[in-house]
Structures are given as structure tokens and as C-alpha cells.
Amino acid sequence: MTQAKFSLPAAHSSAGEARDRLRGLLPLWADEERQTAVLLLSEVVTNALRHAPGAMDVSLTEAHGRLFAKVHDDSPSAPMSREGDEFGGRGMDILDALAHRWGVHQHFHDGKTVWFEMHNA
């Protein structure tokens, strides 16, 4: 089992940092699955950057070909699907299409955690 836990600031560079850390956690994964996992993490982090006021905490756990990723932010609002446009809006649809499972845990007075699970082929 391999784990990584880290905090990211509310900055545009945070999505890139999250992608880099995840790539380092999955060196033995098939390219397509690794790229999909990186895309999903990027979508969840970007959503938090757009809709939450502050820093976020990321937790990544890889074990036996399964990735479990969590992103906690300070916003109490759950992510919602919306009509996509050239500026975004497709993150939840991408999670629906590509993650094996995903969900949201609401935390009273402490924001929410968006999580997803991926499997290596």
C-alpha cells in the first residue's frame, strides 16, 4: 500500500501539483488508467479551486491496483452537474463516466470531501 497526504493552497498551480504527486504514486499502472486517474484528480481539485474559499487537503491511497482519492475543501456546497461550456462544467460528468465509484461526504461545519475510486487494468 502506498499513501500520500498533502495540503494544497487555493492557487492555479495546485491542480498541477496534485497531478504530479499522483503520477509518482502510480508508476506501475498502465498508461491509460494512470492518465484517467490523473484527469479525475485534476477535475476534483479544479472544482474545489473554483468553488471553495481556501486550501484543500488531498489523500491518495493505492493498494492492490486500486486508487482511492479524496479532496477535502471548506465549501459546504456539494458539486453539481451543470451544462458544460468552453469554461468548464463537465467535471461531474467526467467522474460519472470514468471513475469506478465516486461520491461526496458532507461535513457539518467543515466543508465536504469528494472522493473517487479507480482500478488499474
**CATH assignment at residue 45:** 3.30.565.10
Per-residue pLDDT band at 100 (split at 50, 70, 90) = very high
Cα Rg for the chain, rounded, in angstroms? 13
- Rounded to whole angstroms, the maximal C-alpha distance in the chain is 39
Q: Give mean pLDDT, residues 97-102.
A: 96
CA distance linking residue 4 with residue 96, whole number of Å: 24
* pLDDT digits 0-9 by tens, 56-82: 999 999 999 999 999 999 998 877 665
Q: What are phi and psi of 56, to 5 degrees?
A: -135, 155
What is the residue-averaged pLDDT of the chain?
A: 90
Q: Whole-prediction pTM value?
A: 0.90
Which residues form the domain of 101?
A: 2-119
Q: Give mean pLDDT, residues 34-39.
A: 97
The total of structural domains in the chain comes to 1
- H or E element in which residue 35 lies: helix 31-51
